[in-house]
Structures are given as structure tokens and as C-alpha cells.
Amino acid sequence: MVVVVWSFLSVFCDVLTIGILIYWVGIWCVHLIGIVYGCRKFRRRATIQSFDDAVEKGDAVVGVTVLKPLVSKPMDPNLMTNLESYFTISYPKFELRFCIAEEGDPSIMVVKQLMSKYPNVEASLHIGAADVGVNPKINNLYKGYHAARYPLLLMSDAGIFTKPEVLTEMVSCMTENVGIVMQLPYTTDRKGWAASLEKVNFGGNQARFSLFLNLLDQLKMRANLCIGMSILMRKQIFEHAGGIEAFSPYLAEDYFFAEYCQRHGWGVRLSSHPALQNHGVYSVDFHFSRLERWTKLRLKMAPFATFIEPTTKCILLGLVAAAAATVQFQADFLAFFLFHLLAWILSDWLLLNIIQNGSPPFSKFEFAVAWLFHELSAIFVHVKALRDPVIDWRTARYVLHWGGRAEKIDLVSPPAISHSASEKTSQPQPAYPLNDDCSETNKDSRVSII
């Protein structure tokens, strides 16, 4: 009996260690794919010549409505700079719609100043949030969405700074089978420890898996890591789902935008220009609170992936893989782990330089310190998110149910402005249908948009 048990444990140990090493190799394949695909994607930011030719013919270009949800309490000192960058977009056919949740918001004055400064840019203000669901961003965008004149919608957060050529490149990526073009989250060059941490996170771990999953989506494998800081989407898809309000039961509306698109045959593509976050007020606590909130959201939408997420981090994976290699191949534990650690740091440094399209605004030593601090903090952020599932966002608290539906549990904000009978209904709408299919008419109409 003892021999049988020992034999079973020996076989189990072999299978477990080999499985761990195969998983370790798989994660390193993700590294390699991220670097190669990232180099191909972000190192080639030249304009699309054929599309530029079309741009010269203003009537041949599809129009874009830029939706900017603004909540400026407290006031962001970089808001003027960020919003002005959208007034200088070089795309020939677009409109700006600024959506502000309530009267008295200081961003109203900023928008009016910019509208006076750029009278030739088509821009409008929509003040007063609707009450169509729990998602405050959807409530804020409701009026601007229904007033949008063009078939493409660019939804971009208030803290994003853009460059004149970015919208042109994003529209060029919107081919006939693509429903969403997203910008990879990144940051502008800012000073301070918190800014370095953000750049290391978004240019390293976040970028790696975004690039890998986007490549899987191009291979028709429906991998979803859509982050809605700045996304270009077809209004037609929203209309088919029942309008933007159909996504109001979810806080992670961007995830469900992409899920709906993919389920109906549309692809998600990456722009070669990252979304440049340019918040004027930022801190280490703010950065980690965002990571914690995003972890809580993923837990309810993709629980298996969230539970194994710590094993994709460098230190934990390196320790486990080094132990497996020691047991299976009698490798030197310390040498294996240090090699793993050094190779990971170098690969993240290389990927960061690719996303930055040059050298980042700090030294290699500063990068290594920020990277190590971020890696050591990751497990604590994860555990904290698992222990307390309640989400604090803006002035309210939410609890998430399995599948991603949210419920507001502590309403602090003032009541939303109601709609008149002449407007579209502002009553809560059901979430978008989970099992419907696009008709042949809808499928065929995709080509006619662009």
C-alpha cells in the first residue's frame, strides 16, 4: 500500500512540475508575442497613404462624433490642455459633444472658452445626466449619444490627450469587419514617482496582455481585453443592441461593448497610437485604487482568469517555476529564479520602449525600482480586491453580481435630470440581449458604413 501511494505521489509530482514548466513557457511566449507584435504595431506610426488620399476628398470620408464625458469636481489642472487637443484634430469631418453631468461643473467654463477660441470646430455642450441605469458614464453620455450625427463614435475620457493625426489613423483601422478600434492605455511624460509607476504598469504588464489578446481576436478567437479610455465604435452596433443605454446595468461597459461586437462577428483592433492619460492630479494611492477596482470588475466578469492572474506576475511565477525545475531537472533554484527575474525585467523594459516609441523619461535604475515595487504590490492589490468586493467609484458605491451587473448601494450624488416626453425614454432599459443574432440585413450593412 505504501509503495502504491508513493508511486502515485511520484507520478502526480512529475505531472504537476511539468505542467508548471509548460505554463511558464507559455507565459514567456506571451512575452515574445507581445514584443514582436508591439514592435510591428507601435514602431510604424506612419500615415496611411491611401487613406490620406481619401481624406483630401471631404465628401468621401465618414464622419465621427467625439463624445467626451466630463466630471470635473475636483477640477483637473490639465483639463484645458486635454480638451484643446481634440479641437486641433486634423480629421476633416468630425464633431465634438461634451457631456457634463450637472450644472455648475467647472468644466462648462473650460468648454465654452475653447468653443469661442475655435469657432470653426463643430462642438456642442450637453448638460445634465440621464437616469437610464447604474453606470454614471453611460448616464452622462446618453444625451450626446442620441444627438450624434455621424455613424462612428469616439468615446474618450476627459483625462486623455490626443494628437492631431490619431483620429485619422483610428478610422483607417475601421475596416468592414471591425466594430471597435481601441487605443492601448498609456500615459504622457509626467514627473514623479506615481507617474513612473503608471508608465511601468501600462507599458509593461498591461500592454503585454492587451497586445496578445488583440492578436488572438484577429485570429477569430474572441479574446476580450477592451479598455474604454478611448475607443472608436460604430453607432450601428449600439442601435442594434438597443442604444447605449442597453449597457447601463454594467460598470465595465467597455468590456460588454467588445463582447457584444465579437459575438456578432465584429472584430476589435488596436490603434498604433496609445491613449495618452494626462491627469493633472495623480498619486500612488490613486493608481493602486484603480487597479483594485479593475480587479474587482474582472472577478465578476471572468472569475477563472482573475483567480489565476497572480500566477502571471513575475515573482510568484518565477518562484513556482524555479521550484518545479529544481524538482524535475535538479536545476539550481536561485540561478533559475534570478535568470527568470532578469529576463522579465529586460523584456518589460524593451516593451516599454516600444510603446513609448523611444526612451521613457526615467533611467533604467528608476525603471527597475518602480518595476520591483509594482510587482511586490500586485499580490496585495489582488488580495485586497478579493476581500472587499464593494466598488467605490466617484460619489457612489456599487456591488457587482456574477456576470458583471452592478447595483448601487450608497447613493450620494444629486438626482439626475429627468427627460420630457419629447425625448427618448430615460427609464432603465434591459441589458442588451444575450442570445440574439444580427439579421442578414445588419451583416450586409456593415460594409456600407465605410
- Which sequence positions are flagged as catalytic? 254
265 torsion bin: left (phi>0), alpha (psi -120 to 50), beta (else): left
Question: Could you tell me if 83 and 163 are in contact, meaning their C-beta atoms sit under 8 angstroms apart?
Answer: no
CA distance 223 to 1: 47
How many residues in total does the chain contain?
A: 450
Select from 161, 157, 151, 171 the least CA-distant residue to 272: 171
- Please name the residue that has the C-alpha cell 500612488: 284
DSSP summary character for residue 58: G
CA distance 183 to 208: 14
Q: Where are the extended beta strands (E) located within 86-172?
A: 94-100, 123-127, 152-156, 160-161
CA distance 253 to 263: 15
Question: Could you tell me if 367 and 352 are in contact, meaning their C-beta atoms sit under 8 angstroms apart?
Answer: yes
Based on the number of CB atoms within 10 Å of its own CB, is 287 exposed (0-12), middle (13-18) or buried (19 or more)? buried
CA atoms within 13 A on the CB side of 151: 14
CA distance 51 to 170: 11
Q: Where are the extended beta strands (E) located within 78-117?
A: 94-100
> How many degrees, rounded to 5, is the angle at CA 143 between CA 139 and CA 147?
150
Based on the number of CB atoms within 10 Å of its own CB, is 266 exposed (0-12), middle (13-18) or buried (19 or more)? buried
> How many degrees, rounded to 5, is the angle at CA 196 between CA 194 and CA 202?
100
Longest dimension (CA), the chain: 87
- Beta-sheet strand order (sheet of 275-277): 160-161, 275-277, 185-187
Supply 380's cell numbers.
496585495
